[in-house]
Amino acid sequence: MNFDLERLLDHQGGVATSGQILDRVTRYAFERMIDDGRLERLWQGIYCRGAPTDALRVRGVDLSCGRTVAVCLSTAAALYGFDTEDDVALHVINPPQHQLRSADGLVVHRREGAPLTIVDGRPVTAPAWTAVEVARGLRRPRALATLDAALRSRTCDRTELWRAACRQAGRRGIVAVRDLIPLADGLAESPMESELRLIVLDAGLPTPTLQYEVVDGNGELRRLDLAWPEHRVAAEYDGVPWHSGADALRRDRVRHAALQDVGWVAIPAMFDDVRYRPADLIARINHQMSRSRAA
């Protein structure tokens, strides 16, 4: 690649406009670099060196605007470490006195008054505001997963979530989010664990203890996703189907037998149980609790 172009890309964080590139190389050379992957198109008239990343994409928007743009929603959540939805779109706030337009993979928002912080030199909507704003646009189970993940990231606390919810009063979805904030728990370790917990709570079962530690019959320390110690009953989300192989089935039996040796029953919950058969799952948990009470 042309030395002057390399230096420009280094100076601008790996991005350049087509005009800047053509000031340094011929159009033929420019097209060759695109064809062989040395340059990739990010946005109209904006190119990057090599494969696009989220960091390059947002720097490309900066270059297009002539200033550092603020990010929001899932893009902000990813920077804080609590994006649960893997949204591939880049969400930015339209800078004052600019008319950025949404494009394929770029969503431009107007967020006058949204609180901003700085992360690695970039304006980002504040953590609690981001969590509440993302949660407002999701189904209840996924909204709880986002609130759980935000607390787990330790970028905000429950009081800050309440304040952010109050500041977003009247906006779509905020009532459901306000109802979920008291249920949010940073001990939840995955979005599907959060969904499982919401099913349990919606069914009226006692509030479970999260990540409860038990030494099983093999002397191994086990952490149970959702536990009811008074009943010695637990529910564990398993992202890998039990029938995925003979070895997996054997390990599963050993684990459950080791818990039974110390008087515990662990009920496995698969994706389909949580999403499509919640009533059956609740019935299994209730059955084990009833047996415990009768013993």
pLDDT of residue 99: 83
pLDDT at residue number 275 = 95
CA distances to 137, 191, 193, 266 from 147, rounded to whole Å, are: 12, 10, 13, 26
Tens-digit pLDDT profile for residues 165-192: 999 999 999 999 999 999 999 999 999 9
127-157: pLDDT as tens digits: 999 999 999 999 999 999 999 999 999 999 9
Q: How confident is the model over 206-225, as pLDDT tens digits?
A: 999 999 999 999 999 999 99
Q: What is the mean pLDDT of residues 234-241?
A: 83
Question: 295 vs 108, 133, 288, CA distance in Å?
Answer: 60, 47, 11
User: What count of other Cβ atoms lies within 10 Å of the Cβ of residue 101?
Assistant: 9
**Measured between alpha carbons, how far is 124 from 69 in angstroms, rounded to an integer?**
9
User: SS in 3 state form for the chain?
Assistant: CCHHHHHHHHHCCCEEEHHHHHCCCCHHHHHHHHHCCCEEEEECCEEEECCCCHHHHHHHHHHHHCCCCEECHHHHHHHHCCCCCCCCCEEEECCCCCCCCCECCEEEECCCCCCEEEECCEEEECHHHHHHHHHHCCCHHHHHHHHHHHHHHCCCCHHHHHHHHHHCCCCCCHHHHHHHHHHCCCCCCCHHHHHHHHHHHHCCCCCCEEEEEEECCCCCEEEEEEEECCCCEEEEECCCCHHHCHHHHHHHHHHHHHHHCCCCEEEEECHHHHHHCHHHHHHHHHHHHHHHHHC
Query: Domains in the chain, start-ordered, CATH in brackets?
Result: 3-50 (1.10.10), 70-183 (no CATH), 191-294 (3.40.960.10)
pLDDT at residue number 253: 75
The pTM assigned to this predicted structure is 0.90
Burial class (CB in 10 A: 0-12, 13-18, 19+), 70: buried
Is residue 96 very low, low, confident or very high in pLDDT (cuts 50, 70, 90)? confident
pLDDT reading at 242 higher than 60: no
